[in-house]
């Protein structure tokens, strides 16, 4: 791509499972809060499929995995335990996906704006991104509690674009789940699905979705969208 190919375009990224492999640290935090409350642990392979709708939803899925039902106040207590542990250990094992930094460099050099739209809380998203020294890359970081309605609401993505100084009519969403895909559709944006994330994946028969299996393929997907 040339230096101005993406001028006026904003590329919006999901965080967990898209930019960063956070599953190892989320797994530790989930099992910590479950153990502390006297419940069993969830195996790592199962945790990957529980990520994407926020910490409380992940806890509820972890309990359902063990056929445990709790009242709302008990889940809230687990959630507070999770957040305390996770905030203190947010970047022990989390790492950017291979090729991510190089691809973000290329998108920026082509004139693109970059933003993050995540169902993590704002504070946790900012803490993780700062720990990975990525803060300066993004024009906005828009967490779940920074907007009235989180993904799959399309407005969540629109707000991320606007806060980055971008135009919602010239934006692309990149994510790893049906939640991201639905949010992109609700915002009226093209969607790039990363198959290396946590899922669940959108309908594989849907030819309107761009699919990539590595960051090395993202530049071409974005170029295909902006030149269509």
Q: Which residue has the tokens 């980055």?
A: 164
Catalytic-labelled residue, pool 14, 16, 21, 25: 14
For residue 29, which of 93, 103, 73, 74 has the smallest C-alpha distance?
Answer: 93
By CB atoms closer than 10 A (0-12, 13-18, 19+), residue 31 is buried
Residue 73 annotated among the catalytic residues of the structure: no
Structure tokens at 102: 């190089």
171-175 and 191-194 strand pairing: parallel
Sign of the C-alpha dihedral, residues 111, 52, 160, 168?
positive
CA 224 from centroid of its chain's CA atoms = 23
As annotated, the active-site residues are: 14
């Amino acid at each position: 791509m040339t230096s101005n190919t993406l001028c006026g375009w904003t590329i919006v990224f999901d965080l967990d499972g898209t930019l960063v492999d956070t599953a190892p640290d989320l797994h530790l935090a989930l099992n910590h809060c479950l153990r502390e409350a006297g419940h069993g642990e969830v195996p790592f392979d199962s945790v990957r499929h529980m990520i994407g709708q926020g910490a409380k939803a992940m806890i509820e899925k972890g309990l359902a995995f063990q056929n445990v039902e709790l009242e709302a106040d008990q889940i809230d207590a687990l959630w507070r335990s999770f957040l305390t542990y996770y905030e203190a250990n947010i970047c022990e094992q989390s790492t950017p996906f291979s090729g991510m930094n190089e691809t973000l460099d290329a998108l920026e050099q082509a004139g693109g704006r970059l933003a993050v739209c995540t169902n993590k809380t704002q504070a946790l998203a900012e803490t993780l991104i700062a720990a990975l020294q990525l803060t300066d890359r993004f024009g906005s970081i828009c967490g779940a509690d920074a907007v009235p309605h989180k993904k799959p609401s399309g407005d969540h993505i629109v707000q991320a674009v606007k806060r980055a100084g971008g135009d919602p009519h010239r934006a692309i969403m990149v994510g790893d789940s049906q939640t991201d895909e639905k949010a992109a559709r609700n915002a009226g944006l093209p969607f790039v699905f990363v198959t290396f994330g946590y899922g669940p994946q959108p309908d594989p028969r849907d030819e309107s979705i761009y699919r990539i299996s590595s960051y090395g393929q993202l530049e071409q997907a974005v170029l295909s969208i902006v030149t269509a």
